[in-house]
Amino acid sequence: MNYQNMHETANFLKEQGFVNPVVGIILGTGLGKLVDEIKILKKVSYSDIPNFPVSTVESHKGVLIFGELEGRKIVAMQGRFHYYEGYSMQQITLPVRVMKLLGVETLLISNAAGAVNLNFQKGSLMLLDDHISLLPENPLTGKNIDELGPRFPDMSQPYDEQLNNLMKNAAIEEKVTLHEGVYISVPGPNLETRAEYRYLKIIGADAVGMSTVPEVIVANHMQLPCACVSVLTDECDPEHLHPVSLQEILDVAAEAEKGMIKLFKNVCRSL
């Protein structure tokens, strides 16, 4: 995916009416309901967008939405791309590149994750304070696109401090429990073994999931401020590990996303 491809995609979307969005939103697994709150102005299936990969996971819809949320122009991804689907890191992160080219100034990300910190209950939310990537690849590998950002981007504050403060204020105002912690991204698609959960905890995880870090790296590369909320869908207790089904994860996500929606709307209002 070169710079020209990115512009091609952005120009296509502009022609479709995706004009002057200020906030980009990525909706994770089972977290598509925020869309009901958006005044939709335009909607395009990923399969109709040049250079966009097509989502292969049943629970992901694969639609790019342009509209208004709390009076702010937004572009939202209903469904994202995962490494385990076989996409390249460049494909996974193309939508974030394109959002920035469309003019987005803030990126709000959601995902479903397992709680490694056992003080965090399933169904609660966690604001990402930091992350550790255990993915085998990086979206910035290869020749740097200098127009987009530097060769060696800083990652000392991957999640924007001001945005995180807005998110924490939103949690207080909306009376939503919002933990804070470190997210570790793994390639998946299998869930982790007991030994892997012990290891993740030892190296510093509060939550584990299969997404988000590539998008956050690319956002940082372009100096696009981002914040991410994990919906904790299961408790990863190596001493009492039960098999979790995708259905269970989706059910918990559906319940917990109500809080996430309140937070995202509140932050949009205060931007």
249 half-sphere exposure, CB direction, 13 A CA radius? 19
Report, in Å, the least distance between residue 211 CB and ligand HPA: 8
* Among the listed residues 55, 78, 164, 233, the single contact to ligand HPA using CB under 6 A: 233
What is the pattern of x (binds ligand HPA, CB under 6 A) and - over residues 109-128? ---xxx--------------
Q: How far does the chain reach from its first CA to its final CA, in angstroms? A: 31
For the bound state, the minimum distance from the C-beta of residue 15 to ligand HPA, rounded and expressed in Å, comes to 36
105: left (phi over 0), alpha (psi -120 to 50) or beta: alpha
Q: How far is the CB of 253 from ligand HPA (least distance, A)?
A: 8
Residue with Cβ nearer ligand HPA (112 or 256): 112
Nearest-angstrom CA–CA distance, 104 and 14: 13
Give residues with Cβ within 8 angstroms of 207, minimum separation 6. Answer: 113, 114, 115, 116, 117, 120, 126, 181, 182, 183, 184, 230, 232
The least CB distance from residue 170 to ligand HPA, in Å, is: 23
Shortest Å, Cβ 261 to ligand HPA: 19
Q: Least separation, in Å, of the C-beta of 232 and ligand HPA?
A: 8
Among 34, 92, 236, 263, contact with ligand HPA (rule: CB under 6 A) = 236
User: Is the Cβ of residue 215 or residue 234 nearer to ligand HPA in the bound state?
Assistant: 234
Which region among 18-26, 54-62, 83-91, 184-192 touches ligand HPA (by CB under 6 A)? 184-192
**SS3 call for 224:** coil
| Residue 140 to residue 150: CA distance in whole angstroms | 10
Does residue number 234 form part of the binding site for ligand HPA (CB under 6 A)?
A: yes
Between CA 25 and CA 152 the distance in angstroms is: 25
Number of other CB atoms surrounding residue 72 within 10 Å: 16
Using an 8 Å Cβ cutoff, are 160 and 225 in contact? Answer: yes
Q: Which stretch binds ligand HPA (CB under 6 A): 7-15, 31-39, 92-100, 229-237?
A: 229-237
Question: Which residue's C-beta sits nearest to ligand HPA?
Answer: 114
Number of residues that bind ligand HPA (CB under 6 A): 14
- Closest to 104 in 3D by CA, of 25, 162, 29: 25
Of 201-220, binders to ligand HPA (CB under 6 A) are: 208-210
Burial class of 20 by CB neighbour count within 10 A (0 to 12, 13 to 18, 19+):
exposed
Nearer to ligand HPA, 13 or 208 (CB): 208
Among 76, 77, 191, 228, binds ligand HPA (CB under 6 A): 191
Strands 63-69 and 39-45: antiparallel
- The smaller minimum CB distance to ligand HPA, of residues 153 and 188, is found at 188
Residue ranges binding ligand HPA (CB under 6 A): 112-114, 186, 188, 191-192, 208-210, 233-234, 236, 249
